[in-house]
Amino acid sequence: MLKHVIFSATAQKKCAHFLQKTILSLIHSKLNKLKQTETLYLCHKNLITMSTIGLSEQEIVRRQSLEELRKLGIDPYPAQEYLVNNKAKTIIDNFNDERPDAFGDVILAGRIMSRRIMGNASFAELQDDSGRIQLYVKKDDLAADGNTLMYDPVFKKLLDIGDIIGVKGFVFRTRMGEISVHVREFTVLSKSITPLPVVKEKDGQVFDAFTDPDMRYRNRSLDMVVNPHVKDVFVKRTRLTNIMRSFLNERGYLEVETPILQPVYGGAAARPFTTHHNTLDLKLYLRIANELYLKRLIVGGFDGVYEFSKDFRNEGMDRFHNPEFTQMELYVAYKDYEWMMNLVEEMLETIALGLYGNTQVQVGDNVIDFKRPWKRFTMFEAIEHFTGIDISEMDEAQLRATAQQLGIEITEAMGKGKLIDEIFGETCEAKLIQPTFITDYPVEMSPLAKKHRSKEGLVERFEAICNGKEICNAYSELNDPIDQRERFEQQLQLAKRGDQEAMVLDEDFLNAIELGMPPTAGLGIGIDRITMIMTNSASIQDVIFFPQMRPEKKAEVASSDEFLALGIPEEWVEIVQNSGFASVELLKQANPNKLHQQLCGWNKKHKLGLKNPSPDEVKQWISK
C-alpha cells in the first residue's frame, strides 16, 4: 500500500516545474514529428504539382536537382548577360600545338551533351551553335579556395545532360589527342528538366538516333539539339533568300509588303482560309497569293516590285504541300515572259553558285544542273513527247475521253483547262528532272495571263519544272481590263459547276487596271520548293521550322475524383497516376501485386513518409 508523501512547498514547486517542462518537451517532440510528416507530404505534393501527371523518374529527379541548386544559392536561370569570346568550331579549326596558349582565356557557353565522371577529374562535351568541344573539369581547379561546392554536389550530382552552362578556361590537347578546354570556372545558365534522347555512337555507327519524322517535326527544338545538322538546312534557306534578295535589289527592284488579310482572295486557283474582323463585322481571307496587290503597285507607277510572302491555302498536306508556305513574287513593267524566263535561269544559277560554288546540286539520286540555258517545251509539245498524243486541237469532250484513256481520275466539275492540267501533271511533270520551262498554256488554265501574241487559244505563260515538281510560275501579265473581266466571269461559271479552286471576281483590282497597267512580266517562285532542291530535302516539312501537323492523339487523363471514388486515398492518387495509370481504365488492367510493390517502392525511394496501402486495399481499388 502506497503511503502518502508530504512534500514541502518548495519541493512541490520544483516538481510542478519539472512536470510542466517534461510535458512541453513531449508536446514539442510530437509536433516536430507531425511537422516532418507534413513537410514530407507537402514536398511530395509540391513535387507532383510542379511535375504534372505522367512524368518519368528522370524528370522528377531533375526537378529535385533544380530545387537543390536553389537551396545551395545557385540560380538555375540567371538573368545577367554571359559574355562569350569564342566558339567550339573556331577553337578546333584554329588550335595550333606549337602555340597552345594562342587562344588565351576562352569563354564558351552551350549545352552539355555527354559526361564522364571520374572521381576528382571529369570530362564533358559542350555543344554550342558551331559544334562540340570536350571539357576537362578538375576538382582542384574549381575548389582553389577549399570550397568543393561547384564540383562535388553541383557538377558531379546536380548537372545533367542537356543543361546549359558557361565555362572559362584554357585550350589544350589531351594525351588522347583531343582538343579540349580545361575548365577553371563554370556557371549554370539553364537547368534542363526534360531528358534528351540518348544518341549513342560507336565505331562510326549511330544508335537510338532521334529520326522519327513525326516526332522531329512536332519537337523541332529537340530535333535541332539532338540533330544539329538539321540547322544547316535552315542556314542555307536564309542564305538562299539573301542571295535572291541581293540579285533583285542589284537590278533596282523594290521590296514591298502587301496585305495578308484580304476582303477578296485572288491571284491563284486555291481554297482560302477564312476569318472574321469583329470591329468591322467583316469576313476576311488569308491571302492565297499577293499578285493582284503587286500589280496595283505597277499601276501606281513602280517599275519593279517584289515580295517574300507568307501565303495560305486550305488544301491537302503532303511532302510537297504545307497550308502555310513562302513564295517570292516579282512584277516588272515593260517586260514579257520571255525576258522573265531568262531572269529565272540566271537567278537560280546564281543561287546554286552562291551556295555551292558550282551549278550542280545533288538531289536524291539525281544531279540537277542549273547552268543556263534550260530546256524548253510548250505544254502541248511536252504532252505529245511523253504520251505520243497530240491534244492541241481537242475539245472538252475529247480531252475527257483522252484523260480516261490514260487512266487519269477526273470529275464533271473540271473544264477544258483543268483537264489539260491533269493530263500534263499525271503524264509529264514527274519525268522532268533537269530544270525545264513549260510554256504557252491554254487560255482556260490562266485567267490572269495575256493571250499569246501569235498562237490562238494560248497564253504567254511558263512554269519551271525541276526534279519532277513545279518551282515557279510566270506570265506576260494580262493588262486588258475588258478581257480580264471576261476571264473572271468565266471563272465564276466554273465555280457554279463545283470548281472550288475557281478564282473570284475582284472589282477593286479591275478598277485599278482600268486606269492603265503597262505591259508587265510577273513571277511567283516557291521558296520552300527551291530550298528542298537546294538542300536535298525529301519533304517540305524538312525546310519549314514548324510545319503544320495533324492533331496528336493524346491519352485521356482521369480526374482525381474518379480515383478517389475507387477508395484510393488522396495522397496516393497522383502517385498512382505517375506510375503509368493516367486513367481508371488503365488501372483496371493492372496486376494488383505488381502495383502494390511499385507504390511501396516509390514511397520508399522518394522518402515520402506515407503509410503504404496493403495488398488487399490495392486489390479493392482495381476491383471496384
Q: Is 360 a residue whose pLDDT tops 60?
A: yes
**Residue 490 confidence class, pLDDT cut points 50, 70, 90:** confident
At residue 498 the predicted structure's pLDDT band, cuts being 50, 70 and 90, is: confident
367 φ, ψ to 5°?
-105, 115
Query: How far, in whole angstroms, is CA 269 from its chain's centroid?
Result: 28
pLDDT higher than 80, residue 554 = no
Question: Above 70 in pLDDT, residue 46?
Answer: no
Domain-wise residue ranges, the chain: 18-53+557-624, 88-196, 232-374+434-542
Q: What percent of the chain has pLDDT over 90?
A: 67
Q: What is the pTM of this model?
A: 0.81
pLDDT score for 1: 40
Distance CA 272, CA 47 (A): 47
For residue 488, is pLDDT > 50?
yes
d(CA 542, CA 233) in angstroms, rounded, equals 8
Per-residue confidence (pLDDT) for residue 2, from 0 to 100: 40
Instruction: Look up cell 522518394; give the residue.
Output: 606
Query: Measured between alpha carbons, how far is residue 242 from residues 2, 351, 357 in Å?
Result: 105, 9, 16
Question: What are the two backbone dihedrals, phi and then psi, of residue 186, each rounded to the nearest 5 degrees?
Answer: -140, 155
Looking only at the bridges linking them, the beta strands covering 179-190 and 131-138 are: parallel
Q: What are the tens digits of pLDDT across the range 270-288?
A: 899 999 999 999 999 999 9
- Distance between CA atoms of 602 and 612, rounded to whole angstroms? 10
Tell which wins on pLDDT, 19 or 305. 305
Q: How far is CA 76 from the centre of its chain?
A: 26
**Pick from 41-50, 467-476, 560-569, 588-597: least confident:** 41-50
Check residue 623 and give its pLDDT: 84
From the CB of residue 402, how many other CB atoms can be counted at a distance below 10 Å? 18
- Residues 504-527 have pLDDT tens digits of 889 999 999 999 999 999 999 999
Q: What is the pLDDT of residue 3?
A: 41
Residues belonging to the chain? 624
Q: Cβ neighbours of residue 69 under 8 Å, at least 6 residues apart?
A: 75, 76, 154, 158, 188, 191
Q: Which residues pair with 437 in a beta bridge?
A: 376, 464
pLDDT digits (tens, 9 = 90+) for 86-98: 999 999 999 999 9
CATH of 88-196, one of 1.10.10.370, 2.40.50.140, 2.40.110.10, 2.40.50.100: 2.40.50.140
Rg, Å, the chain Cα set: 36
Of 528, 532, 473, 545, nearest to 308 by C-alpha is 528
Mean pLDDT of the chain, nearest integer: 88
Write phi, then psi, for 585 (nearest 5 degrees): -60, -40
**Spatial contact of 456 and 515, defined as CB atoms under 8 Å apart:** no
CATH superfamily of 232-374+434-542: Bira Bifunctional Protein; Domain 2 (3.30.930.10)
Alpha-carbon distance 80 to 104, whole Å?
A: 24
Q: Is the pLDDT of residue 163 over 50?
A: yes
How many other CB atoms are found less than 10 A from the CB of residue 477? 29
